[in-house]
Structure 1
Amino acid sequence: MKNTYFRSLYFGWTLASLLVSGVTQAQQHSEQNHAHYVPPKDSLVSKKLAHWQDVKFGLLMHWGTYSKWGIVESWSLCPEDEGWCERRGPYAANWYEYKKAYENIRTTFNPTQFNPERWATAAKDAGMKYVVFTTKHHDGFCMFDTKQTDYKITDPKTAFSSNPRSNIAKEVFSAFRGQDFMVGAYFSKPDWNTPSYWDPYFPPKDRNVSYAPKKYPQKWQQFKDFTYNQIQELMTDYGKIDILWLDGGWVRPASTIDSTISWQRTIPYDQDIDMARIAGMGRSKQPGLLVVDRTVTGEFENYVTPEQSIPDSYMPIPWESCMTMGDSWSYIPKENFKSTRKLIHTLVDIVAKNGNLLLNIAPSPEGDWHPEAYQRLQEIGAWLRVNGESIYGTKPVAPYRQKQWAYTGNGKTKYQTYLPSDKETVPTTITLSNVTQSKPTVKLLGYTKALKANKTAEGLVVALPEAAQKLLASQPAWVFKLEER
């Protein structure tokens, strides 16, 4: 009954706080100077990065013991006066009691419906090509069998530890690798469970390390070694890893703090964990490894990651919008899922601006997704099976995005995608502007016959036969393919 009580108490707070934090936290990962992007020098990294840019569409999963309470991932442990850090429930009044209760969730965390092969199949059918899974979030609970701490999914104190598939990260990576996905390991640099980051002698005041690393260099070295050793385990014992996706951008060298960015001005200490050492080790074990040290501009941020937002215009550097399918990163019992139309429009918009979409779905404490998540993936996949050639392996084409139009291309073949509003009716003709070919043939993806088109001062006026109109009436986005005759 206590778990049900917690879940009902937390749900109302979680949704409200996420609506607040969705903007504020997103700004922390979008408010960044991308002019200082550093292209990789390693040819294997460059090759993998180019492949990653071609696949366009990936799956992110936030999953941990916090799903048992249906609360925001990790952040209720953080003693900051922010909406997304607010505590609720019977232990909320005392932070120490709350932290103890939170860390005790693992004794009942038992996701017996865990079936990563089902997720991998659903994601593949949706047209996704890569996965990023939370091996460890800020709370420090490890979804893999680390040797560095007993706060992990495989420890006997965790209810799921007796399950033969208890090494969850390994099972997830294996299932998705079996469907030819690129595999990414999300890893939080800060760890709010380990005493070498939040030292029990120094109660934490905020998300940062609770002591001054310069004053206690041995303790900070312990944390650096702890972090290095955990990442080394992931790079060594979990099969082929394509992406190391590092979160917690306040753990960074002081020299990288940009004082013009509001949230970075609050970082009180140099928190350098020696990324050169980590990346060097990772690439020695995983050649070509993409390293994404989020918001820390420089050689270890191979691509940038605006969160819950899309840039206003084309960006010439590699980038990825990480966004939620619903409102929250973590599981909540009643999720508000975006419509299929909205999700497809989001993908098209991002690709036309030179980005990838990493779409988050949160598993439940039982180990499955909401039924609506599977439904959305099926519908996205149905659209991509017809129109995917305008997405995968394409490059943005100027003017990239203009009103309801998105422009992509693959060599001499160009695609113009129209994003109709929800109640928009299909016209008998449609005008394509920004046509670069002198005598193009025009096809509508999903429709077998070539379309008749006439050049006018306004552009290429394309006639839509009745059969084409009926096809488009049920489509969330309309893709016109132009080829030189």
Structure 2
Amino acid sequence: MKKISALLLLLFASTLLKAQEHESYVKPADTLVQKKLRQWQDLKFGLFMHWGPYSEWGVVESWSLCPEDEGWTQRKGPYGADYYTYKKAYENLLTTFNPTNFNPEKWVKAAKSAGMKYVIFTTKHHDGFSMFDTKQTDYKITSPRDPFSSNPRSNVTKEIFNAFSKENFMIGAYFSKPDWHSEYYWWPYFPPTNRNVNYDPAKYPDRWQKFKDFTYNQIGELMTGYGKVDILWLDGGWVRPKSSMDSKSAEYKKAYDQNIDMPKIAAMAREKQPGLIVVDRTVSGEYENYTTPEQQVPNEPLDHPWESCITMGNSWSYVPGDHYKSTNQIVSLLVKIVSRGGNLLMNIGPGPDGDWDPVAYNRLSQIGDWMKINGEGIYESTAVAPYSEGNIFYTKNKKSNTLYAFSLSDNDKVKLPGTITLHLKGINKVKKVSLLGVDRKIKFSTNAGALTITIPADLQQNNKLTQTATFKIQY
């Protein structure tokens, strides 16, 4: 258990650099966007999915194509020695990608049971492979070269959005602004040298304009033919005006000006999808309606809407034998994130057959059992000072005078001390304290701004609670 505790401590103690960089959050002026943002903030728990032909090899999504010497860009397997041989083999995965076990209704059932309320799906990652029936390229899952194209459900983005919409999930389309397959981003005339466009857009404006048109048209397709879309989740923050970069950063020194014309894209997308939340992640300004700390949890509330996107396993995409976080770890992450006013977007990578690892279903089932008892302290809640004390984390219901104190456990089985003392403003006005999932009267007393809860002896060891003990405090 030491390794688990250390991991959670690391996740919680680290304030993500991306979060620190967003010192100038711009509240959207559109009242419909403001309304949808408030609705989204109440949902608290969402599903993320990274999926594409790369799952056949069980390698990192897209990044092995990137000619940068980083830990996550390493090429593996029989094609790894030569870059161009590898790239050709990677792109040829299109011809064998055949996820015949694809069943989005199965995912919806598991996600809904776990208490998830929204979904973000990777319609296209940096490698440029479209998981939807785009008319802008043949590098897509519905290409005749892809054996799955003959399947009646081959337009997987549409199938996923439809299935989750039927269960009232908020729908989000992940879309990569860079496209390493497009000749208008990585022009074959030049070799790519890093993640950025491999030519100077200022020197070749016609070529860059074609890429802008390509991007605009693909996003337009997603906003038009895929039902209601609530969130446009844009990745690849290096595709941005150079004037918006920090001149001291390494990215600034490597990058060309890559102005993709976000005002035009956002206006078009919101005309087709009124109230659309736009997340131009890591690019501060009016098109980053919420921020996205990645794989970490800020150690204090942020002054704007945000979500932590975190993998259930170690990887974003499918990896055979991936190590999945325990239910206890995931619940602890959810509680900590919500206590800081954020949402948890939990990623599961489908495999090449079109299904999740059985472990993922098991985790979601156990989380659902926990949510049935404790969810009232998660949904429609806000952060409340002092946010946490030791292993106690607080939330406040938005609609009533109710606080929740989550006592996190190091183990699945919850053990409680004889007394717990909490320090909250207005604590002298407490009317009732109850323990969620336990039908017993809980005694309490207040003194000098402190609330002391007395736990009956038989509930200290044999309460039948898992992951947390949640105290409901009405005042």
Which category describes the TM-score, using the shorter chain as reference length?
over 0.9
Q: CA deviation at 1:266?
A: 4.2
Counterpart CA distance in 2 for 1:167 and 1:469 is 52
User: Match of 1:109, as an amino acid?
Assistant: F
Alignment-derived partner of residue 4 in structure 2? none
User: Match of 1:40, as an amino acid?
Assistant: P
CA deviations on 1:16-66 (whole Å, 9 max, x unpaired) are xxx9xx99xx99972642220000100000000000000000000000000
Alignment-derived partner of residue 420 in structure 1? 409
Counterpart CA distance in 2 for 1:152 and 1:60 is 20
Alignment-derived partner of residue 319 in structure 2? 332
Task: Specify every segment of 5 or more residues in structure 2 that has no aligned partner in the other structure, as ranges.
Answer: 1-6
Q: Which runs of 4+ in 1 moved over 4 A?
A: 26-29, 470-473
Contact 1:138 1:192 in 2 (8 A): yes
Q: 3-state SS of the aligned residue for 2:334?
A: helix
**Cα distance change of structure 1 residues 477 and 238 upon mapping to structure 2, 3 Å threshold:** same
Alignment-derived partner of residue 454 in structure 2? 463
User: Match of 1:387, as an amino acid?
Assistant: N
CA deviations on 1:393-438 (whole Å, 9 max, x unpaired) are 0111111123212111123111111112238732222222225242
Alignment-derived partner of residue 195 in structure 1? 183
**Cα distance change of structure 1 residues 426 and 473 upon mapping to structure 2, 3 Å threshold:** farther
User: Match of 2:247, as an amino acid?
Assistant: S
Contact 1:37 1:297 in 2 (8 A): yes
Q: How many residues align?
A: 461
Alignment-derived partner of residue 130 in structure 1? 118
CA deviations on 1:340-365 (whole Å, 9 max, x unpaired) are 11100100100111110000000000
Counterpart CA distance in 2 for 1:159 and 1:27 is 44
Task: Specify every segment of 5 or more residues in structure 1 that has no aligned partner in the other structure, as ranges.
Answer: 1-18
Question: Is 1:120 the counterpart of 2:108 in the alignment?
Answer: yes
Q: How does 1:22-421 map to 2 (within 5 A)?
A: 30=18, 32-260=20-248, 262-410=249-397, 411-421=400-410
Counterpart CA distance in 1 for 2:436 and 2:247 is 48
Q: 3-state SS of the aligned residue for 2:23?
A: helix
**Cα distance change of structure 1 residues 475 and 263 upon mapping to structure 2, 3 Å threshold:** farther
Contact 1:111 1:367 in 2 (8 A): yes
- The counterpart of 2:434, out of the listed 435, 440, 443, is 443
CA deviations on 1:213-254 (whole Å, 9 max, x unpaired) are 000000000000000000000000000000000000110011
Counterpart CA distance in 2 for 1:40 and 1:313 is 23
Of residues 422-431 and 123-132 in structure 1, the stretch that sits farther from structure 2 once superposed is: 422-431
Counterpart CA distance in 2 for 1:436 and 1:74 is 52
Alignment-derived partner of residue 474 in structure 2? 483
Counterpart CA distance in 2 for 1:354 and 1:258 is 28
**What TM-score comes out, normalization by structure 2 length?**
0.94
Q: 3-state SS of the aligned residue for 2:428?
A: coil
Q: CA deviation at 1:133?
A: 0.1
Of residues 402-411 and 214-223 in structure 1, the stretch that sits farther from structure 2 once superposed is: 402-411
Counterpart CA distance in 2 for 1:471 and 1:84 is 45
Counterpart CA distance in 1 for 2:459 and 2:415 is 13
Of residues 394-403 and 201-210 in structure 1, the stretch that sits farther from structure 2 once superposed is: 394-403
User: Match of 1:426, as an amino acid?
Assistant: L
Contact 1:28 1:263 in 2 (8 A): no
Of residues 417-426 and 219-228 in structure 1, the stretch that sits farther from structure 2 once superposed is: 417-426
Contact 1:250 1:267 in 2 (8 A): no
Counterpart CA distance in 1 for 2:224 and 2:15 is 34
Counterpart CA distance in 2 for 1:55 and 1:263 is 36
Q: CA deviation at 1:263?
A: 4.8
Contact 1:62 1:133 in 2 (8 A): yes
